[in-house]
Amino acid sequence: MGTSTGFSVAIAGAGLSGLCLAQYLTRAGIDVHVYERDPGPFVRQQGYRIILDRHGLEALRESLPRPLYRLALETGDEPGGHLRFTDSSLRNAFTITFKDEPHATRQVDRLTLRSILMSGLDGRIHYGKAAAAVDGGGPSGLRLRFADGAAVAATVVVGADGVGSPLRAQLTPGADPANTPMAGVYGRSPLRFDGRSVIPEALRTSGVLAIADRPGRAFFFTSMRFGEDPREAFARLAPGSYAPIVDDYVMWGLLLRQEEVPAGVHGNLLALRELAARKSTGFHPVIRRLIDTAELDATVLNLFATGRRPRQWAVPRATMMGDAVHVMPPFGAHGGNTALRDAALLGRKLVEARANGTAPEEAIAAYQDEMVPYAFRAVDTAAKLMRRLTGGAAAPHWVLTRVLPRLHRVTVPEA
Ligand SMILES: Cc1cc2nc3c(=O)[nH]c(=O)nc-3n(C[C@H](O)[C@H](O)[C@H](O)COP(=O)(O)OP(=O)(O)OC[C@H]3O[C@@H](n4cnc5c(N)ncnc54)[C@H](O)[C@@H]3O)c2cc1C
């Protein structure tokens, strides 16, 4: 690996941030390679939708070639829509309305976004390579070492290897994420059943967080409708790239306390779906139907954690992005957006440094100084929102589930 100028970047992890940075650097002509632990591009379903906010969209716009950015927008759901907070019978407590502007917020399918981010990176993504450690640090550069014993040389190493990052202990000692009391069982169900939408018309463009009477229990769902069929949009805008085959769907998540999750259900799809069914008996029939019709292989368990501020960056030419450094509970939809923002920021800093002849460690330090404040603001906000919506604090929970819903008419009758 290495170009005539000798500047190269090795990224661990082909998730949202790793691929976004690879796109940025490839466009700028920098030699970049991505090393992914999974044996292939789509081994895990990861079949959920993701709401991109202005930071996420801006990062994609800056990093991707124009046709790929258009592909993300055109396969995305229609702009705008609402997030409704309801009680367990889907009676409205309050509603947030999203801006109806194409570049403000946009709901996209994560699998489709990942395909878009992989487009044009042929030969630069290497599968079955689990990063294990970073060696060196002298003038001869770094080596990214893998669990299989192999290693690659690079000027800069970036850990974008997600919440379980094995590089974190070495690059930011003492900053392993803190556990939280909450967990989520996530699933995906077809949007249409017998030709009809399973989501009532009143909720067509809404995400819903239904909060149970019992503190620490809630159910989230939202539909993902592709603006354009990915197969057609890819053929037009990224011919030759892999277009995932996905139909419109409903993404849902049962939020519960970790202490309610029996040992051994991790990875047991049937047991997870049964757990979701058991713990949602008190919710509206629309919710129970979603669980009954769920696609089993898209069911996952996520134990919520919060990242800890790094106190030290131990290897000057190595850094981290995304969940590896600042994982957050999925409240407020900032995890992926912050990861994409990191990628565009680090890409910009590295490209500028190369143009000015500045040392890469200075570019990396500038990235870290800017990233830590915005990323940990997002972590703090997500953690606070989680406590407000699922914690046992009597007053807010009582207002959400008892007082506010009484002020509204029934949103979805129990037909
Ligand atoms: C159900 C759900 C819904 C969500 N909704 C939203 C949303 O609406 N908005 C939002 O902003 N965020 C959302 N998020 C969060 C978002 O998905 C993550 O924050 C985001 O994917 C983080 O990106 P990343 O690049 O840091 O890591 P990831 O996308 O997790 O990628 C990490 C990659 O590294 C690989 N890897 C792991 N270990 C190694 C290793 N040792 N060596 C090499 N590769 C390795 C993994 O296989 C993976 O491909 C949601 C999360 C979930 C679970």
Does residue 14's CB lie within 6 angstroms of at least one atom of ligand 1? yes
Strands of 156-159's sheet in order across: 125-126, 31-35, 8-12, 156-159, 318-320
Residue 31 Cβ inside 6 Å of ligand 1? The answer reads: no
Q: Please report whether residue 388 resides in a domain.
A: yes
Name the residue with tokens 């809630």: 218
Q: How far apart, in whole angstroms, are the C-alpha atoms of residue 117 and residue 333?
A: 19
Determine contact, residues 78/205, Cβ cutoff 8 Å.
yes
* Rounded Cα gap, residues 161 and 44, in angstroms: 15
Cα–Cα nearest to 218, from 254, 182, 180, 170: 254
Decide: 166 in ligand 1 pocket, CB within 6 A: yes
CATH number of domain containing 265: 3.50.50.60
Q: Give the Å distance between the CA of 153 and the centre of ligand 1.
A: 25
Least Cα distance to 260 among 272, 247, 248, 252 occurs for: 272
Q: What is the pLDDT of residue 55?
A: 95
Residues 296 and 273: beta-carbon distance below 8 Å:
yes
Alpha-carbon distance values, 19 to 25, 31, 122, 188, 312 (Å):
10, 14, 12, 24, 26
Q: Is residue 413 part of a domain?
A: no
Q: What is the pLDDT of residue 212?
A: 87
| CB-CB contact of 342 with 322 (8 Å) | yes
Question: Please, are residues 102 and 231 in contact by the beta-carbon 8 Å criterion?
Answer: no
Does residue 414 sit within a domain? no
Q: How far is CA 86 from the centre of its chain?
A: 24
- CB of 252 closer than 6 angstroms to any ligand 1 atom: no
Distance of CA 215 to the CA centre of its chain: 26
The preferred substitution site among 121, 161, 321 for testing ligand 1, maximizing ligand atoms within 8 Å of CB, is: 161
Spatial CB neighbours of 66, under 8 Å, sequence gap ≥ 6: none
* 123 C-alpha to ligand 1 centroid (Å): 22
Q: Which of 19, 34, 37 to mutate to test the pocket of ligand 1 (most atoms within 8 A of CB)?
A: 37
Q: Which of 401, 368, 414, 379 is nearest to 156 (CA)?
A: 368
The residue written with tokens 């009477």 in the block is 213
With a 6 A CB cut-off, is 162 part of the ligand 1 pocket? yes
> Domain total for the chain?
1
Per-residue confidence (pLDDT) for residue 47, from 0 to 100: 66
**Choice from 50, 320, 325 to test ligand 1 binding pocket (greatest atom count within 8 A of CB):** 50
Residue 25's nearest CA partner among 160, 131, 170, 169 is: 160
State in Å: Cα 165 to ligand 1 middle. Answer: 11
- Domain of residue 153: give its range: 8-406
pLDDT score, position 321: 98
**Does any domain span residue 412?**
no
The pLDDT score that the predictor gives to residue 350 is: 98
Residue 146 main-chain phi, psi, to 5 deg = -110, 165
**Per-residue pLDDT at 5:** 59
Cα dihedral across residues 360, 52, 91, 248: positive or negative: negative
pLDDT digits (tens, 9 = 90+) for 192-245: 988 889 888 878 888 899 988 888 899 999 999 999 999 999 999 999 998 888
SS3 303: strand
Two tokens, residue 360: 């890469």
Which strand ranges, in their side-by-side order, compose the sheet holding 300-306?
Answer: 92-97, 82-87, 206-211, 218-224, 249-257, 178-190, 300-306
pLDDT at 415: 46
CA–CA gap between residue 230 and residue 171 (Å, rounded): 38
- How would you write the pLDDT of the chain (415 residues) with one tens digit per residue? 444 458 999 999 999 999 999 999 999 999 999 999 999 887 766 568 899 999 999 999 999 999 999 999 999 998 878 888 888 999 888 788 877 776 778 899 999 999 999 999 999 999 999 999 999 866 668 999 999 999 999 999 999 999 999 999 999 999 999 999 999 999 999 999 888 898 888 788 888 999 888 888 999 999 999 999 999 999 999 999 988 888 999 999 999 999 999 998 888 889 999 999 999 999 999 999 999 999 988 899 999 999 999 999 999 999 999 999 999 999 887 999 999 999 999 999 999 999 999 999 999 999 999 999 999 999 999 999 888 877 765 556 655 665 556 555 555 555 4
Instruction: Provide the 8-state DSSP code for 258.
Output: G
- For residue 3, the model assigns a pLDDT of 42
